[in-house]
Structure 1
Amino acid sequence: MIKSYYAIIDIGSNTMRLVVYSQEKSGRLHEVENVKAVARLRNYLNEKGILNDEGITKLTATLKSFKNVTETYELDNFTVIATATIRQARNNEDIKQIVQKEIGWEMRILSEKEEAFYGYLSVVNSTSITEGITIDIGGGSTEVTYFKDRILKHYHSFPFGALTLKDFFQNNDSTEKNIMKLRGFLQEQFGRLDWLQVKGVPLIGIGGSARNLAQIDQNRKAYPLAGLHQYQMVDSDIAHITTYLASLDKVGLEKVEGLSKDRADTILPASCVFLSLYETIEAKGFILSRKGLRDGVFYEYLSPNTKTNLYPNVLEDSIVELIYEYKLDIHQIQHIQYLTERLFKGLLSKGIGSLTKEDWIHLERSCYVYNLGEYIDAESSPQHTFYLLANRTIDGLMHIDRLKLALIASYKNKTVFKQFIDPFKHWFLKKERKKLELLGSLLKFTYCLDATKRKVINHFDMEIGNEVITLTIYCNKDYKPEQYQSEKQKKHLEKNLGKNIDLIFLYRENE
């Protein structure tokens, strides 16, 4: 399969990073290279606002190193962007010329608005969040946006970042006193923007500081799922981490699990920023976006709608990606969805199984990826299905919904279901666990109705009695394999519904 490759270099105040993406048939980008260098260019910006010669040398040397990597790819698109430190440097035009002369690259210096916009764009094109506040703490600036109905409404760039806020701790006062001073400063800064006050929406963190905060929280909780994108925390989590970090010296900070060593001296001021903004907007949770500025640049470049740059349906695109990646049969999926919806609606109409319209949302998603792990190994398909879906990023799904998808789509029997859900039992009420098991057994049963993938069954009639559900199933071909599999597997659905199921198979050539 022919791949397209795209690369971006992000010149930040704290770090410089090269990321190479590949694009395959599904259309989504996959990260294939991610090279980071801790340049801390902000430290080379003198009191006159000039990036000194040492800083420029650091910049060009790092870019030359990155160039060696980019030359191994045939790139369809390549861009070099720079943010706060280069933007604020009074000699940035000279720097652009030096980069052009020594490296042969044109460096694009993003405006405050562009930097904020790309952060917003990355969030709305990689999550299903329709309203929220984004925050991206860089080394020298902090970008905040507010979007509603996925449309950007407000943005602001604060002239402080994780590196500059370190100054609050460069004195002989106690850490607690310095935190109080910093928090007071932040509250005053955030208080200047009317559109930030008491929003009651999710706060979405972008960038390295937010990523490290989430990693620390996951390690602290021994979090059982892999992946950071769309990981959710609350204010007490951030407050606990802030208190914990404040109790550590430099050596202790460098040993914190989940914290990059190069961020050990900036994570405390950054966590204060997150907590202060959380309180200002009275957030409905803190959500980590693994996608940020760099992704936003390519979302703009590749987006199908040039007017808004928005993907119409983030989750749908992610599901399509799974279908391509694991070579699933979309025609069979559509047939299974038809059978599943017919059975589900029949049960829903009679109030069987306490089913709701929201349950159909989870079940419909699971139809797309049921038994996905068969691609790896048929014998252990449920195990592979559960692991793959539970532990990979699926844009548009929060972790809890990703887990529900994995539990339903991997259903084999009660024993295996209990094995899969056991580490997460405290995530669900008992009735929620029973509901997920019911949905899984229902989906397994309808897949048995198309066991040979021939669309043998056209439709069925359903009669629900006090003790027995009778399905009269109309077939257009020999149905013995489907009959055998559904008779064999119906017991799981019977147990979860508390009713027997009688299956009557009829051959009707013209149905």
Structure 2
Amino acid sequence: MYLISTDRVLIVNKETYAIIDIGSNTMRLVIYLRDKSGRLKEIENVKAVARLRNFLSEENILEEKGIEILINTLLSFQEVTRHHKLNEVKCVATATIRQAKNQQSILQRVKDETDFSMRVLSEYKEAYFGYLAVVNSTPFTSGVTIDIGGGSTELTYFEDRKLISYYSFPFGALSLKKQFIKQNIPTEVELHTLRTFLAEQFSSLEWLVNKKLPIIGIGGSARNMVQIHQEMISYPLAGVHQYKMNDQEVKNVNDYLHSLTFSELQRVEGLSKDRADIIIPAVEVFKLLMDVVKTDQFALSRKGLRDGVFYEELTKDFGITVFPNVIEESFYELATDYDIDVNHVLNVTNIGIIIAQLLNKVGLASINKYDMTLIKRGAFTFNLGKYIDSESSSQHTYYLLANRTIDGLLHRERIIIALIASFTSKAAFKRYVAPYINWFSKEELIKYRLLGAIIKFAYSLNATKRNIIEQIESEEIGEELHFYFTCNKDWKPEQYQVEKQKKHLEKQLKKSVILHFG
């Protein structure tokens, strides 16, 4: 059951936060608005392809041209931050500035010539912030994270949501391209050399080899690989966060990219044009890492370093940086965003669970522990679309849940919840599930319709939100299923509603449902 805390620590004032992320390939300014649920929502995302790594000399000196690009880009960002009247802007730099021997003079110039003070993240901090973003926004309790930037690649291994090991390799997509690939497209000899190098590097980490855990990719290259794959298969669902690929799918993307000329590569759907020359070495990194870890699972976290910085900032006063439960946090956000009556949905959830248990008891259903969890989540979000329009609540419920990123729920799970929470009839269910029909077996779809019908039935039993049901019993008599409801208040409004809605449960059970109130 979902218990929603009433003493939330994140205040509902509209607060604006900003961060500048100075990477080796790109620089970004992201502005967040903290909404009424406490979640940080992007309102501006400004990107500049600075490629600072290309201006780092063999002696690890950032050349004057690179410093000028850095300063000029920051001045461009400054126009935006001043427009939004942002006085405090976090400005963090990663591998290129970290590796530059003239780092101190760069920091001083940034401070003297712009509004910003730049913080250079250590290898540990860069890896840690990526790990923090993953464990606070995905369902993975154990795994390996990889964040491949332009000039470094951070890996972490976490178990039971605790960081166990980390490592920062001094190479990234841009530096690998520069070191191993002379033209825009690698030759077979160059690929062989690159693969040998990567295999040696990854295999040197004992804690990485044969881990057989999911790999969670962070950053632009991982996001682009996922977007390319979604375009290749005409993926019907919106969003890339928590998208999963297996090793064959990663190989298919890799093979597809290798089959293209550079001009064709620049026009690939899902691939940023400015990453066309570095996407192949980046995908090679993901593929080789999967081979070393011996895993068939690659997932994307759209949330990374920048989000990790804010997770640490916003929780520092409370002694925790890892949320106790990612999905509970997400459902709290839904409750706040869509004005969900928590007392009502918790009562409906209890009724739904009791109905499911009674159906199991009389042998009319086989609802397992996971199904009970689906009932809880479906009941919590049932009829959520009335927030937009009560007349078309089912359609809005389905659309909102299917197309909104819900941290902690993978894409398939999100569709299941959307189907259950929007259940209004078998016909509507079939329309909603049509684009995803190959995702589920016939037996699964029958089960989800039953769960939807149970929740709809349970909602009718609290139609006036008075929590009048005290006890429920049932018995099967021939072709009829009898329910007996003990109530603590007048039950006529509930009786009227449940008599209207019981037909959906009858169709799923293939039984007449007879109701007794008292």
* TM-score band, normalised by shorter chain: over 0.9
Tell me how far 1:420 sits from its aligned partner: 0.6
Decide whether the 8 Å contact of 1:84 with 1:141 is kept in 2: yes
Tell me how far 1:477 sits from its aligned partner: 3.0
Structure 1 residues 486, 108: closer, same or farther in 2, change over 3 A?
same
Counterpart residue number, 2:9: none
Decide whether the 8 Å contact of 1:305 with 1:311 is kept in 2: no
Decide whether the 8 Å contact of 1:5 with 1:74 is kept in 2: no
Tell me whether 1:226 sits opposite 2:249 in the alignment.
no
User: CA offsets, 1:162-216, max 9 Å, x none?
Assistant: 0011132216996333222211111111110111111111000000000000000
Equivalent position SS for 2:89: strand
Amino acid paired to 1:464: E
Decide whether the 8 Å contact of 2:185 with 2:262 is kept in 1: no
Tell me how far 1:481 sits from its aligned partner: 2.4
Tell me whether 1:277 sits opposite 2:289 in the alignment.
yes
Which of the residues 80, 83, 88 maps onto 1:69? 80
Decide whether the 8 Å contact of 1:205 with 1:287 is kept in 2: yes
Counterpart residue number, 1:109: 120
Tell me whether 1:410 sits opposite 2:431 in the alignment.
no
User: CA offsets, 1:219-243, max 9 Å, x none?
Assistant: 1111011011100001111111111
Amino acid paired to 1:380: S
Q: Alpha carbon RMSD of aligned pairs, Å? A: 1.6
Counterpart residue number, 1:430: 442
Tell me how far 1:463 sits from its aligned partner: 2.1
Contiguous gaps of at least 5 residues in structure 2 = 1-11
Contiguous gaps of at least 5 residues in structure 1 = 507-511
Decide whether the 8 Å contact of 2:381 with 2:421 is kept in 1: yes
Which of the residues 249, 255, 271 maps onto 2:261? 249
Amino acid paired to 2:232: R
Decide whether the 8 Å contact of 1:6 with 1:76 is kept in 2: no
Count of aligned positions = 506
Equivalent position SS for 2:207: helix
User: CA offsets, 1:278-297, max 9 Å, x none?
Assistant: 11101141000000000001
Equivalent position SS for 1:136: strand
Instruction: Note the 1:319-334 alignment, pairs <5 A.
Output: 319-334=331-346
Taking the aligned partners of 1:312 and 1:29, their CA distance within structure 2 comes to 18
Tell me whether 1:40 sits opposite 2:51 in the alignment.
yes
Taking the aligned partners of 1:176 and 1:233, their CA distance within structure 2 comes to 25
Structure 1 residues 231, 173: closer, same or farther in 2, change over 3 A?
closer
Equivalent position SS for 1:104: coil
Counterpart residue number, 1:99: 110
Counterpart residue number, 1:483: 495
Decide whether the 8 Å contact of 2:247 with 2:296 is kept in 1: no
Counterpart residue number, 1:509: none
Which of the residues 216, 224, 235 maps onto 1:204? 216
Amino acid paired to 2:31: V
Taking the aligned partners of 1:411 and 1:175, their CA distance within structure 2 comes to 54
Taking the aligned partners of 1:428 and 1:144, their CA distance within structure 2 comes to 34
Counterpart residue number, 2:98: 87
Matched-pair identity in %: 53
Tell me whether 1:399 sits opposite 2:426 in the alignment.
no
Taking the aligned partners of 2:304 and 2:185, their CA distance within structure 1 comes to 35
Decide whether the 8 Å contact of 2:184 with 2:277 is kept in 1: no
Q: Which stretch has the larger CA shift, 169-178 or 54-63?
A: 169-178
Q: Which stretch has the larger CA shift, 25-34 or 425-434?
A: 25-34
Amino acid paired to 1:478: D
Taking the aligned partners of 2:183 and 2:456, their CA distance within structure 1 comes to 64
Instruction: Note the 1:372-391 alignment, pairs <5 A.
Output: 372-391=384-403
Structure 1 residues 76, 282: closer, same or farther in 2, change over 3 A?
farther
Tell me whether 1:162 sits opposite 2:163 in the alignment.
no
Structure 1 residues 126, 173: closer, same or farther in 2, change over 3 A?
closer
Give the TM-score normalised by structure 2: 0.95
Instruction: Note the 1:254-265 alignment, pairs <5 A.
Output: 254-265=266-277
Structure 1 residues 412, 173: closer, same or farther in 2, change over 3 A?
closer
Structure 1 residues 182, 351: closer, same or farther in 2, change over 3 A?
farther
Taking the aligned partners of 1:31 and 1:351, their CA distance within structure 2 comes to 49
Q: Which stretch has the larger CA shift, 69-78 or 31-40?
A: 69-78
Taking the aligned partners of 2:343 and 2:125, their CA distance within structure 1 comes to 42
Which of the residues 462, 466, 469 maps onto 1:450? 462
Give the TM-score normalised by structure 1: 0.96
Structure 1 residues 501, 76: closer, same or farther in 2, change over 3 A?
farther
Which of the residues 150, 154, 160 maps onto 1:143? 154
Taking the aligned partners of 1:396 and 1:291, their CA distance within structure 2 comes to 12
Tell me how far 1:460 sits from its aligned partner: 2.1
Amino acid paired to 1:463: E
Decide whether the 8 Å contact of 1:5 with 1:77 is kept in 2: no
